[in-house]
Structure 1
Amino acid sequence: MDTELTDVELLRAHVAGDAEAFGLLFARHRDRLWAVALRTCGDPETAADGLQDAMIAAFRRADSFRGDARVTTWLHRVVVNSCLDRLRSAQVRRTDPLPDDLDDAEHLVRTTVDPDPGTDPAHTYDRVERRAAVLEALGRLTPEQRAAVVLVDMEGYSVAEVAEILECAEGTVKSRCSRARARLSVLLADLLPDGEQRHRPSAAPERNRPTGTDVGSGTRRGPPPAATTLD
């Protein structure tokens, strides 16, 4: 089959009965879909299950694609919804109040997840530990906050695109990202140099703030895709 076909053409070919089209479409976007699933779930086994469920759903429901969004937006929507379904069905945990100082939370998340590629190779192990810490911290967010901050801060989608993927208002995406960054700024503060640690919990008077719920992970039914590393 012509691998130069567009995403839309591949999806239409799949709906028309082409046996190879969907596999080519998935292979084209597998790495990014896997990264979204892994960062959303925070656990490789749960992410593998979520991505597997999503691709089965997309395969079976491809004829529901209306063409009013990009195919990649539709695929990400299916993957995120599948992962959120798994997270919501897991054990609920308590979330903690937000910190007061939030000025550099977004920078903290970005620099922790995407270290400088020019770093000395001797620090590879440290980078692996940092990324593992990020996944653990993401697992302490609510599913909705996690999906929003993963798509915006880690995958580079615009707020408008994420609103389309998550099927919610742009203001909702901004709110979820803000709360996620605030929480992550506390959980990941120890990973920054001393000069950048500006988000440690303090003894400041506690304010009345809304709280939400957090969720755990699921069980694995199959192996993860070939690409299982964070970009």
Structure 2
Amino acid sequence: MFTIMIIEDNELIRNEIHNLLDLNKYKTIKIHDFNNITNQVKEYNPDLILLDINLPNDDGFKICTEIRSFSKTPIIFVTSRSTNIDELMGITLGADDFITKPYNTQILLARVASVLKRAYPNEKITDNIEHNGITLNILTNTIQYNDKSVELTKNEFKILHYLLINRGKIVSRVDILDYLWDSALFVNDNTLTVNITRIRNKMEELGIKDYIKTKRGQGYMI
């Protein structure tokens, strides 16, 4: 399991990134003390750093420079600073990628996976979740089964992905709705029902039946 350090002073964004990475099986370290950040990098020795530019004390550019003086740990800037000059400076100082806020969560995950693959080529990193013959491709939002595939909408993908990473457990409708809201996907209870039905219909197109089970009064389960 890769360890990712989140250097972000906005608590809501910091927690959002943490939750997203945690659901995708990454270990995270959230920085709360913005004094001596480089010492914390040395102490925890993460596999990847997500770094904001606008921080309470030193800016991200200075921190990136300091980290590069002793470490080759991959760095991705995740920032609201979106000018070409900011991006050019970040890459010039040694960052591996540059993502602007507000970000698409799936693009953020794809960039993280891509940088990790380049940095650790001998480590196995998968873009897929496989379970009972079904493959959910995280990068293409598709379900694959017996050499056939079907594409999911963003909401359908997020719902199925959440159920899959919690497979073997009953997931309540409230939990699913909270997860979608945290991902900036605004779905109400009726829309959730419609999306579950659409996922089931698409699975049946591939020959998959009864994959998502309804637990009456409790939620859904894979």
Question: TM-score with structure 2 length normalisation?
Answer: 0.32
- Structure whose residues are more often helix by fraction: 1
Q: Which has the higher contact order (CA 8 A, sep 6+)?
A: 1
- Structure whose residues are more often strand by fraction: 2
Question: TM-score with structure 1 length normalisation?
Answer: 0.31
